[in-house]
Amino acid sequence: MSVISNQLLDMKRILFLIAVVLYGTIGVFAQSKSARAEQSIVVFNDVLRHLDVSYVDTLPYEKLTETAINQMLRQVDPYTVYYPKDKDRELRMMTTGKYGGVGAIIQQRDEKSDSTKASKKDKAKAKKYVIISEPYEGKPAQKAGLQAGDRILEIDGKKMADKTVAEVSDCLRGIPHTTLTVKVQRYGVAEPLSFVIEREEIKLPAVTYYGMLNDKVAYIAFNEFTEHSADDVRKALDELVKEHGAQALVFDLRDNGGGIIDEAVKVVNLFVKKGKTVVSTRGRTKQSERIYCTTQDAAYPELPVVLLVNHNSASASEIVAGSLQDMKRATLIGERTFGKGLVQSVRSVAYDGYIKLTTAKYYLPSGRCIQAIDYSKHQGKAEKDSTGGILPDIVLSDTSRKVDISYTLYSKQLFFDYATRYKATHPTIAPVKEFALTDGDIEDFCAFLDEERFAYETETSKYFGEVLEMAKHEDLDSVTIARLKEFAPQLKPSFREAIARHKAEVLELLEAEIIERYYYQHGRAEYMIKHDKTLERALEVLK
């Protein structure tokens, strides 16, 4: 077959794929009465035809198609997404919580930009590298010996310098029971270390932690609504009630981004009797209209429940929170939730791809719509409705987003880096309930910051610098400008003084980071419970 014939065949495939993505099937496209949509397809086809026939170089058809689709969908909403065949595992992981891999979170770092040691020129040339950020306890990476902070040098002999997180992740993931060799550089160890790891099917836990807050109140932290996650909640709750005598529950949905709607209904059904409407969906088509009701007898219809939410609680989390609130079955504490009330349906498209398509909106039993943002106003003009999301019964502000010394140290990864060094010099630490850093450890942390040449600059100082620059170009006299310059140093406090003022908060974040190096996610959760002001308020309500 000639080159031109191959190109024409590829063009036909592209046009077919575009049509299928837009209309679901060719038949639907042919029957469409939308003149505007048909006109857009004709224009796109014509442009692509001219490219195919006359463009000077060979065209990357698949990349052009994917780019065109993705740019189109970005104008619709953030949740309508195209998955070509080579990326369908991302979709499977979202719905099942499973993937074949080593069980570790990774992140990218810059070789020199983590501190102020490097000049701007050096930072621009700095190599990027990927590190192990968080190995999951009991998963292949942790069992093989990988630790948080390990810099990934090679995977199966392939160098990982300057690779993106996605590229490294692709090398780590694979078919369960296959092996790979990972070479890493570890802090405090001169020579690189190599680990042979057998991949497993990784199922991330939906219930990240559960236990008793006191002799009567149980606590469950729930991370995501994936397949069978409601069963995990039921098992944890059964154990807490039957084996530990729990008489009330604090159910934590903070930072839970949602998931499968059927799992949300099953979670509600644990506390609400059979036949109750949990949520309904409405869209443009009759098929998008549906009412979701509880179908089983409630396991715990009388158990007092306090439900914790924040600004990151979204979608299925909001269904659980909003429906239990509407039915006066739980007291909600925290922040107004995110406000994602859009229903996504997965449709197959040509060449084994998928499109996750927004088809409807969620409505609670009271008639409230969860959705907070109107995406009908495209191109960055979408506006958030202040009545969207779920407003808790007791509203508490989240102080974790304050821009202070703790925020700065956290955002610059300095808690993380110090914990890496601490682990290298402390083989073991005390149990979670007994572990505490001393004043000597705080001084050591400050010495570490000196070594990193950490300069604490407040946001106020940054803005004030801009004011000074503006003052030089405006009609201000030299005396006024001189006085402004005299004031500037007061906006750049010593980081040691700032740490002393926020000692409790700095200690909390630093201890939590260190504890996770030894006791992993479970240990961090157990530690953070002791310092959680929202949990304290929940216990007061249950009293």
Asked whether the beta carbons of 266 and 321 are under 8 A apart, the reply is no
Beta carbons within 8 Å of 5's beta carbon, 6+ residues apart: none
Q: What is the pLDDT of residues 426-438, one digit of tens each?
A: 999 999 999 999 9
Q: How far is CA 174 from the centre of its chain?
A: 22
- Of residues 216, 213, 224, 323, the one with CA closest to residue 271: 323
Query: Is residue 91 in a domain?
Result: no
Q: For residue 112, what pLDDT is reported?
A: 57
Cα 285 from Cα 41, distance rounded (Å): 22
360 with 505, same domain? no
Q: What is the pLDDT of residue 298?
A: 98
What is the number of structural domains in the chain?
5
Do 314 and 230 share a structural domain?
Answer: yes
The torsion defined by the Cα of 449, 453, 454 and 455, in degrees rounded to 10, comes to: 140
Q: Which among 379, 410, 369, 441 has a CA at the least distance from the CA of 505? A: 410
CATH at 217 = 3.90.226.10
pTM score of the predicted model: 0.82
Which among 511, 540, 542 has a CA at the least distance from the CA of 528?
511
Q: Give the span between the Cα atoms of 317 and 340, in whole angstroms.
A: 10
Q: Which amino acid is at 318?
A: E
Name residue 455's amino acid. A
| Same domain flag for 217 and 275 | yes
State which H helix or E strand residue 485 sits in: helix 478-487
Q: Are residues 233 and 347 in the same domain?
A: yes
Phi-psi label, residue 368: left if phi above 0, alpha if psi -120 to 50, beta otherwise: beta
Per-residue pLDDT of the chain (543 residues; tens, 9 = 90+): 443 445 444 554 554 555 444 444 444 444 445 788 888 889 988 988 899 899 999 889 888 888 999 999 998 899 999 988 877 777 777 777 678 899 999 999 987 544 444 455 555 566 899 999 999 999 999 999 999 999 999 999 999 999 999 999 999 999 899 999 999 999 999 999 999 999 999 988 999 999 999 999 999 999 999 999 999 999 999 999 999 999 999 999 999 999 999 999 999 999 999 999 999 999 989 989 999 999 999 999 999 999 999 999 999 999 999 999 999 999 999 999 999 999 988 888 888 888 999 999 999 999 999 998 888 765 555 677 777 899 999 999 765 556 789 999 999 999 999 999 999 999 999 999 999 999 999 999 999 999 999 988 776 767 677 777 777 777 777 777 777 777 766 667 789 999 999 999 999 999 999 999 999 999 999 999 999 999 999 999 998
Is the residue at 90 inside a domain? no
Q: What is the reported pLDDT for 28? A: 45
Strands (E) in 377-438, as ranges, are 383-384, 394-395
| 184 membership: H or E segment, kind and range | strand 179-185
**46 and 117 part of one domain:** no
Question: Which residues are the active-site residues?
Answer: 315, 326, 340
Residue 466: give the domain boundaries. 459-491
245 shares a domain with 376: yes
Task: Answer for the pair 74, 358: CB distance below 8 angstroms, yes or no.
Answer: no
What's the half-sphere exposure (Cβ side, CA atoms, 13 Å) at 234?
Answer: 15
Of the residues 149, 183, 203, the one at which a domain ends? 203
**For residue 215, how many other CB atoms are within 10 A of its CB?**
9
CA of residue 151 relative to chain centroid, distance: 22
